[in-house]
Amino acid sequence: MSINTNLIKDGFTLEDILRDTLESNYIDDSYYAKLRNDMDEWEGKGTVLNEEERQAYESLIIHENWLLDRRAFEQWYQLYSRECVYWVPAVGELPDAERADPQRQVTIAFDDRRRMGDRIVWLRTGVAYSQLPPSYTSHVSASFVRLPTEKEGEIKIRSQFIVQEMRGGHAIQTFSGWMGHVFVEEGGVIKIDRKVVCLLDAPRNHHNLTFLL
């Protein structure tokens, strides 16, 4: 197997992910403070994207959706920064400063880079019975807007989504809501630093959420 010198740029294999991030060293009080600040900023008034922003950010979100629908998890992993978070709150009726605070509340998913890797390795074991047969998804995103942010070097894009999920033997499930993507530049490449997925039915009971939103 060829060893990549720049994984972030050139891509990951499952073998790379197995060894990529085995410690969890960046989720701390200041990171949680950043997420609380994000929640406030997501409530702002967005502006529709100009052509340049569409090329840079909307196309990346569309590409992310496509990779997930293709179950290309290793390539999906590559879209994220070194200190990323993939977060699906378990509460509705946002904004709610206390209940939306992941430092105080359990969530549907709160994956730092290491747990994101765990999830991919887990999905690839071939014995995750909740993914046998696997889920196939169709992600549709729309209503992209850019939000003002006080964080220098960061770009905030909010969008609405509908995801349909089909798994052999089960009815098709539909999920909707909004997503927030925070983009940063890392080694000259635009990466997703934080993604929050706010499901319309977040506080309800879910049948199977073992695929990626």
Partner 1 sequence: MNIITTSESSFGHLIEEGRVHRTLYTDTDIFRLEMSRVFGGTWTYLAHASELPKPNDFVRKKLGLRPVIITRDREGKFHGLLNRCTHRGATICRQDEGNARRFTCPYHNWSFTNTGELAAVPLEEGYGPSFKKEELGLGKLRVESYRGFIFGTLNKELPDLKTHLGPSAELLDEWLDRWPGAELQLRRGQTRFTCAGNWKLIYDNAADGYHPGYSHASLLRMRKDRYGGGVDMQWALGNVDEGLQTVSDCGNGGTFIDQRAEIIRYWDQSAPMPGEGPYERIISEKMGDKADAALDVVMGSGMNINIFPNLLIIGNQIQVIEPQSVNKTNINWYATALVADDLPDEVNSLRMRLQEDFPSFGEPDDLANFEECQAGLEIEEVEWIQTGRHMDTGKEYIGAKGMLSGPVSDELPLRVFWKEWQKRIEQGNTGGTK
Looking at the DSSP bridge assignments, the partners of residue 68 are none
149 vs 210 by CB, closer to partner 1? 210
* Nearest approach, Cβ of residue 23 and partner 1 (Å): 6
In the numeric block, which tokens belong to residue 85? 């978070």
DSSP annotation string for 71-105: T-HHHHHTTEEEEEEEEE-S--S---TTTT-TTTS
Supply the minimum distance, in Å, between the C-beta of residue 176 and partner 1.
18
The SS3 assignment for 184 reads strand
Q: How far is the CB of 146 from partner 1 (least distance, A)?
A: 28
Residues that bind partner 1 (CB under 8 A): 18, 22-29, 32, 85, 90-91, 99, 102-112, 114-115, 117-119, 121-122, 125, 127-130, 132, 203-210
Nearer to partner 1, 128 or 189 (CB): 128
Give min distance, CB of 90 to partner 1, in A.
Answer: 5
Please state the closest distance from residue 43 (CB atom) to partner 1, in A: 20
Residue with Cβ nearer partner 1 (96 or 185): 96
Nearest Cα to Cα of residue 209 among 118, 107, 76, 125: 107
Residue closer to partner 1, measured from CB, 138 or 210: 210
Nearer to partner 1, 113 or 146 (CB): 113
Q: Is the distance from CB of 213 to CB of 65 less than 8 angstroms?
A: no
Q: Is 134 exposed, middle or buried (0-12, 13-18, 19+ CB in 10 A)?
A: middle
